[in-house]
Amino acid sequence: MANLGRVLIIAGSDSGGGAGIQADIKTVTALGGYAATAITAVTVQNTLGVTAVHPIPPQVVEAQARAVLDDIGADAFKTGMLGTADMVEAAARILDSAAGVPAVIDPVMMAKGGAALLEDRAVAAVRALMVPRATLFTPNAPEAAALTGLAVETTDDLRRAGEALLAAGAGAVLMKGGHIEGDMLTDLLLTPSGETSFSGPRIFSRHTHGTGCTLASACAVGLAQGIDLTEAVARAWAYVQEAIARAPGFGAGAGPLDHGWTLRK
**Burial of 129 (C-beta count, 10 Å sphere; 0-12/13-18/19+):** buried
Annotation says 212 is catalytic: yes
Q: Which of 17, 33, 177, 212 is catalytic?
A: 212
Q: Which of 37, 43, 208, 214 is catalytic?
A: 208
* Residue in 97, 79, 197, 177 with CA at minimum distance from that of residue 136: 79
Q: How far apart, in whole angstroms, are the C-alpha atoms of residue 109 and residue 117?
A: 5
Q: Which of 12, 210, 222, 255 is catalytic?
A: 210
Annotation says 210 is catalytic: yes
Annotation says 112 is catalytic: no
Q: Which of 26, 78, 112, 176 is catalytic?
A: 176
Partners of 35 in beta bridges: 7
Annotation says 37 is catalytic: no
Q: To 5 degrees, how large is the angle CA 208–CA 19–CA 186?
A: 45
Q: Which of 211, 214, 219, 255 is catalytic?
A: 211
* Residue in 262, 256, 216 with CA at minimum distance from that of residue 239: 262
Annotation says 176 is catalytic: yes
Active site residues: 176, 208, 210-213
